[in-house]
A and B are shown apart, each in its own frame.
Chain A
């Protein structure tokens, strides 16, 4: 039986990017906040010690900083006619754990979604007609880009994002992304110094009329002091970014941007190695009264609070809602229910160019040091003559040049023996790769629910993921692969190898940790789990913050938008909810 603790104003589940932002904003408002984090406390100097941080085996291959499947995994299948089986090891995506969350070991691509991404359904209906999206269940967010702009700005300045604006107050900027939404001011830091591969990629793309620009990066181009007074260093391009903690305070994360200030506040407490089992509702099922969690010793505790914020990874937010009875679980056969609906992913493909006379030094890299072409992303181009909607950013961001994982050889090369070795030694330094990161649009058959068979170590059902790439997205990806091959040809490689996206989604090879949806925001309580303020329609003192709220995924990394949504939700709680607790939007 759980032992009851003294109540807090706010309990936050998960202390990653969103938990830290919400905790900081709400402690500033004077609230007494506790964050319950199932992973350990982590400290830069101790856990990302510069002497052993660059360890590919430990952090990238054995994934020392990640959520381990023994603690929680999911079951997966491609269609609802199959039997879902557990992902016994994570592969296609790698959720984080611990203080800082996945923001500890992310790459740092920090995007704003296009304005048209936010009212996607009405925008595409208006531009191409309803028939074009008939097989998709895409939705509007209930929130416009313009409303979110200042929150994007706050996240970018918190994190010290390095980039080049493309559109400041309606005026296009040379060298920036001409397709982006209007921003009020420039990035806090200039774009990073470019290494060779992205420089060459940009030349090739520009030569055929595309518009490359520096990828907005949370790896800092210069030393920076953020608005909280926290100092960060210049990224040293060490190449140990994605899957690694940053040893020299040069990658934005909760550690490097918020925790030094947050942790010292007397009205904040972090409880680590403590896993929340469920949110407890009162008898009306309309009010959350507490969360139950298990500490490291296995003892159960009940933490009462006036406000419950789910700030876990998006997938885990959705599962906690299902396990707690917050909202109704989605049923694809009827189309009813909201929690688990509109699970989306990312539709990626790649190109490798083999050269004889070039040296790219692939180990000189940062998580987000590169160039992007956004000409074919979202609805930046006219889809009138194509048979799909959506698009992809084309990114040349040569990170992860570490040799256990990265040893490009031409197709047909043996996997071992002297011939393999010769090809490996010849090509390691001289391959240029780039990839498309495509939108993922919701369909009725892609969703999350609870697995009927498999359980976690506490006996709770695992979440079940039913997903395959929609035909629309496959057509989109192939069309963008055609564009990538045009860039590749312009660079005149010895050999070009194009890896096109194919069905079915395979959970084994790593693809992307951009799992979105499951607790989507929107205007209709029958189709969305949370309202435009990330507040549960069903239990108004629960807010659910993360990529779980995306109604569908854009062709961009989610963290910039997740960070903006965290500020947006914090403002709503502080300025609206605290003055008048209850539903902020009437259902």
Chain B
């Protein structure tokens, strides 16, 4: 349905550009469509069930509400009266049409690494979309954050526009992966630790970060809590299908897999995997908390009575259904926020064509108190070869309050 719309619009565009450009135009359109996939534009700019790219839903930030705007070529409410250069400058610098500064919820610090050619392809694709009249008030921040001039300061602190620079010591595949991860894929936006003002800490790129009650895990090659245990196939399989022998994508990553990575080419997925596997990860050794400690003994009982029926008596899980807990990097992240979250609120896994099950973890907030959630997670993080910090009951209490108040 959407496909045919896009093709119809593309045909109209081609006609206006003249017949001699038709072949290039088609290729460029297809490349642009793929750039939209790499950049996961739909993830923010398409409302579920709504017209493609006609504007997303509200993004709650610590500073207030932002709404992803309409990026269809409607002249009044979309980007119909932008020029190609307006678009390029926005992607590169965060300064949009008429000089308006975008909030860096739009990941232009990553997109600035994209090549002009890729940005041009994306521009052609967006212009081939069905124009949709849908006025979006993007800036719903309270004072003083609603003053976009404050962004000059943010940019001065955090952002220097920079093209992607290939590393000549590495393979073409590695460089392609680096380009996707750092550029259009904007992985660091979630997975890199942040400074006080919300910018990526570049010296610890992709080492994991907590955002909005989810832990975006470390995706360097760190052996215990990174991708050290994952083979290239584990990584590509996860990105393609949302699941592998360790995990099932859940929460925000499920959306990313569904909108973006599941639609990427096998070659690009492999390039991403090659690059991530080559990122140095800390090899800090940690020993597990003693099994006879009070928290671990309590956690073991809670685990047996609540968790083992799905995750298995030895944390072995079931492929495509119940995440493996033993030897799983996700369970051993420095921060247990995602684990606490799924125990309290439950979580539905993502679905892809290859892995359509979308099983859900039940909410246990009603059954387990803060200390019990903390102890069972401490147990999970320190059993079957796992080793990670204990989970304090206060962390559970805090997240429980935060989630149940709707933030």
CB <8 Å contact, B309 and A248: yes
Output the least CB separation between B361 and chain A (Å).
Answer: 6
CB <8 Å contact, A231 and B351: no
Contact of A45 with B360 at beta-carbon distance under 8 Å, contacts A50-B310, A223-B319, A233-B322 already known: yes
Output the least CB separation between B310 and chain A (Å).
Answer: 5
Is B61 engaged at the interface, CB distance under 8 Å to the other chain?
A: no
CB <8 Å contact, A43 and B310: no
A residues within 8 A CB of B362?
44-46, 49-51, 247
A residues within 8 A CB of B364?
49, 51
Output the least CB separation between A43 and chain B (Å).
Answer: 7
Output the least CB separation between A53 and chain B (Å).
Answer: 9
How many angstroms from the CA of A223 to the CA of B324 in the assembled complex?
14
How many angstroms from the CA of A244 to the CA of B318 in the assembled complex?
22
304-330 of chain B: CB within 8 A of chain A: 306, 309-310, 318-322
> Per-residue CB proximity of B349-365 to A under 8 Å, as 1/0?
00101111111111110
- Looking at A29-37, A260-268, A402-410, the stretch in contact with chain B turns out to be A260-268
Is A428 engaged at the interface, CB distance under 8 Å to the other chain?
A: no
A residues within 8 A CB of B348?
45
Output the least CB separation between A569 and chain B (Å).
Answer: 24
A residues within 8 A CB of B143?
none
Is B366 engaged at the interface, CB distance under 8 Å to the other chain?
A: yes
144-175 of chain A: CB within 8 A of chain B: none
B residues within 8 A CB of A499?
none
Q: By CB atoms of chain A within 10 A, which of B318, B319, B322, B366 has the most?
A: B318
A residues within 8 A CB of B19?
none
Contact of A44 with B318 at beta-carbon distance under 8 Å, contacts A229-B354, A260-B351 already known: no
How many angstroms from the CA of A155 to the CA of B367 in the assembled complex?
37
Instruction: Determine the main DSSP class of B at the interface with A.
Output: loop
How many angstroms from the CA of A223 to the CA of B320 in the assembled complex?
10
Which of B356, B366, B367 is the one whose CB lies under 8 Å from A228?
B356
Contact of A231 with B320 at beta-carbon distance under 8 Å, contacts A44-B360, A51-B364 already known: yes
CB <8 Å contact, A231 and B355: yes
Contact of A50 with B309 at beta-carbon distance under 8 Å, contacts A223-B319, A225-B320, A231-B318 already known: yes
CB <8 Å contact, A261 and B356: yes
227-261 of chain A: CB within 8 A of chain B: 228-234, 236, 238, 247-249, 260-261
How many angstroms from the CA of A236 to the CA of B306 in the assembled complex?
13
B residues within 8 A CB of A266?
1
Question: Taking CB as reference atom, which chain B residue is nearest A238?
Answer: B309
Is B346 engaged at the interface, CB distance under 8 Å to the other chain?
A: yes
B residues within 8 A CB of A233?
310, 318, 321-322
> Per-residue CB proximity of A46-72 to B under 8 Å, as 1/0?
100111100000000000000000000
A residues within 8 A CB of B322?
233, 248
B residues within 8 A CB of A248?
309-310, 322
Output the least CB separation between B349 and chain A (Å).
Answer: 10
CB <8 Å contact, A223 and B360: no
How many angstroms from the CA of A49 to the CA of B310 in the assembled complex?
12
CB <8 Å contact, A51 and B367: yes
389-405 of chain B: CB within 8 A of chain A: none
Contact of A231 with B359 at beta-carbon distance under 8 Å, contacts A45-B348, A51-B364, A225-B320 already known: yes
CB <8 Å contact, B306 and A51: yes
CB <8 Å contact, B355 and A229: yes
How many angstroms from the CA of A346 to the CA of B1 in the assembled complex?
50
A residues within 8 A CB of B366?
51
How many angstroms from the CA of A228 to the CA of B358 in the assembled complex?
13
Question: Taking CB as reference atom, which chain B residue is nearest A226?
Answer: B357
B residues within 8 A CB of A261?
356
How many angstroms from the CA of A228 to the CA of B320 in the assembled complex?
13
CB <8 Å contact, A232 and B306: no
B residues within 8 A CB of A45?
346, 348, 359-363
B residues within 8 A CB of A51?
306, 362, 364, 366-367
Which of A43, A231, A238 is the one whose CB lies under 8 Å from B357?
A231
399-442 of chain A: CB within 8 A of chain B: none
How many angstroms from the CA of A243 to the CA of B369 in the assembled complex?
29
A residues within 8 A CB of B354?
229
How many angstroms from the CA of A448 to the CA of B285 in the assembled complex?
73
How many angstroms from the CA of A223 to the CA of B318 in the assembled complex?
7
Output the least CB separation between A168 and chain B (Å).
Answer: 28
Output the least CB separation between A259 and chain B (Å).
Answer: 10
A residues within 8 A CB of B309?
50, 236, 238, 247-248
A residues within 8 A CB of B359?
44-45, 231, 249
CB <8 Å contact, B356 and A230: yes
A residues within 8 A CB of B320?
225, 231
Q: By CB atoms of chain B within 10 A, which of A223, A231, A248, A249 has the most?
A: A231
CB <8 Å contact, B363 and A49: yes
> Per-residue CB proximity of B215-250 to A under 8 Å, as 1/0?
000000000000000000000000000000000000
CB <8 Å contact, B306 and A260: no
Output the least CB separation between A255 and chain B (Å).
Answer: 10
B residues within 8 A CB of A247?
309, 362
CB <8 Å contact, A231 and B321: yes
Contact of A260 with B356 at beta-carbon distance under 8 Å, contacts A50-B362, A231-B318 already known: yes
Q: By CB atoms of chain B within 10 A, which of A45, A232, A266 has the most?
A: A45
CB <8 Å contact, A223 and B321: yes
B residues within 8 A CB of A44?
359-360, 362
Output the least CB separation between B354 and chain A (Å).
Answer: 7
How many angstroms from the CA of A486 to the CA of B362 in the assembled complex?
47
A residues within 8 A CB of B306?
50-51
Output the least CB separation between B331 and chain A (Å).
Answer: 19
How many angstroms from the CA of A49 to the CA of B343 in the assembled complex?
12
Contact of A264 with B351 at beta-carbon distance under 8 Å, contacts A49-B363, A51-B364 already known: yes
CB <8 Å contact, B351 and A234: no
A residues within 8 A CB of B355?
229, 231
CB <8 Å contact, A249 and B363: no
A residues within 8 A CB of B1?
266
How many angstroms from the CA of A225 to the CA of B118 in the assembled complex?
39
How many angstroms from the CA of A247 to the CA of B307 in the assembled complex?
11
Output the least CB separation between A41 and chain B (Å).
Answer: 13
Question: Taking CB as reference atom, which chain A residue is nearest B346?
Answer: A45
How many angstroms from the CA of A122 to the CA of B353 in the assembled complex?
48
How many angstroms from the CA of A261 to the CA of B364 in the assembled complex?
26
A residues within 8 A CB of B319?
223, 225, 231
A residues within 8 A CB of B310?
50, 233, 248-249
How many angstroms from the CA of A249 to the CA of B367 in the assembled complex?
21
B residues within 8 A CB of A225?
319-320
Which of B318, B360, B361 is the one whose CB lies under 8 Å from A234?
B318
Question: Taking CB as reference atom, which chain A residue is nearest B313?
Answer: A236
How many angstroms from the CA of A50 to the CA of B362 in the assembled complex?
7
How many angstroms from the CA of A45 to the CA of B367 in the assembled complex?
14
How many angstroms from the CA of A50 to the CA of B351 in the assembled complex?
22
B residues within 8 A CB of A43?
360
A residues within 8 A CB of B358?
260
Question: Taking CB as reference atom, which chain A residue is nearest B310?
Answer: A248
CB <8 Å contact, A230 and B357: yes
Output the least CB separation between B263 and chain A (Å).
Answer: 16
Output the least CB separation between A268 and chain B (Å).
Answer: 14
Output the least CB separation between B70 and chain A (Å).
Answer: 23
Q: A45-B361, A46-B360, A248-B310 are in contact. List 20 more A-B contacts (CB 8 A).
A: A43-B360, A45-B346, A46-B362, A46-B363, A49-B362, A50-B310, A51-B306, A51-B362, A51-B366, A229-B354, A229-B356, A229-B357, A231-B355, A232-B321, A233-B310, A233-B318, A249-B357, A260-B351, A260-B357, A266-B1
Across chains A and B, which 7 residue pairs bring their CB atoms closest together, nearest first? A45-B360, A231-B320, A45-B362, A231-B321, A49-B362, A51-B367, A231-B357
Q: 7 pairs across A/B with beta carbons < 8 Å? A: A44-B360, A45-B346, A46-B360, A50-B309, A229-B355, A229-B356, A249-B359
